[in-house]
Amino acid sequence: MAIRILVADDEPNQLELLTYNLVQADYEVLRAEDGQQAIEMIEEHRPDLAIIDWMMPQMSGIDVCRTLRARTETKHLPIIILSARGEEGDRTLGLDIGADDYISKPFSPREMISRVRALLRRAHPALADDILEFHDLRFNQSTMEISRAGHLVSLGPKESRLLAILMERPGRVFSRAQLLDLVWGHGVFVEERTVDVHISRLRKALNSPMSDAGKAANLIHSVRGSGYALRNPADLH
């Protein structure tokens, strides 16, 4: 079942940016344009996490948070408050009201996704398993220990992130543009060929532990005209 996140923001551009990045990270997104609508949608759809803007019509994000915390069914809902108010007092108020995290605008979409994942790991461990496994690959995201067929693999941060994305959705084809957004962040100007360079490094690192056993089975496949996917060699025959 997909993890469902509600995003409440009265600014159309901000709402679109948040939705785009969350969908790219494979979350299901519900959208609300004011505080009252956010309350109604949370009651109806029971999301796994809510991202709520502080300044909204009908009901402010702080009032939404206060209302949710006062109700038994939403008392433990993970909440992230967004605000252009970055003063320490505002941050403290947001957290004191019951928000689990507070992010000041403008923010990096990549940081937002990282905060969402961290909060989900704390609130719903079953929704954010730290161990990824595929074929003879194992990736412990808590310790960042990666192994293939029992042999440790050393990867840089970008290659590690690429591998995690591919292992989270084996078989799915990711375009270069999608991988750029997920690894480098939306809006960051990096040439698409950069993805090819890092994929090449990733393949080399994953295949090197297998050199003693002969030719390594390549797990990361290029899909012509589309991008890259993690696939079991046995499924290609």
**Per residue in 96-110, pLDDT tens?**
778 888 888 888 888
Write out pLDDT tens, residues 106-142: 888 888 888 898 888 777 665 556 778 888 899 988 7
Confidence check: pLDDT of 80 > 90: yes
DSSP-derived secondary structure for 63-78? HHHHHHHHSGGGTT--
pTM for this entry: 0.54
Average pLDDT over residues 60-88: 85
The answer to whether 220 and 203 are in contact (CB under 8 A) is yes
Supply the pLDDT for residue 237. 47
Write out pLDDT tens, residues 173-209: 888 988 888 888 766 677 888 999 999 999 999 988 6
Q: How confident is the model at residue 73 (pLDDT cuts 50, 70, 90)?
A: confident
**Number of neighbours of residue 122 by Cβ within 10 angstroms:** 12
Strand 137-140 versus strand 145-148 pairing type:
antiparallel
Supply the pLDDT for residue 156. 93
Supply the pLDDT for residue 212. 54
Q: Which residues contact 214 (CB under 8 A, 6 or more apart)?
A: none
Continuous segment of H or E residues that includes residue 220 = strand 220-223
| β-bridge mates for residue 223, sequence order | 227
Show the DSSP H helices in 124-192 as ranges. 157-168, 176-184
Q: How confident is the model at residue 33 (pLDDT cuts 50, 70, 90)?
A: very high
Max alpha carbon distance in the chain (Å)? 66
Domains in the chain (CATH in brackets) are: 4-127 (3.40.50.2300), 131-236 (1.10.10.10)
Q: Which of 142, 184, 178 is nearest to 161 (CA)?
A: 184
Distance CA 117, CA 128 (A): 7
Q: How confident is the model at residue 221 (pLDDT cuts 50, 70, 90)?
A: very high
Supply the pLDDT for residue 1. 45
Distance CA 44, CA 47 (A): 9
Average pLDDT over residues 20-34: 92
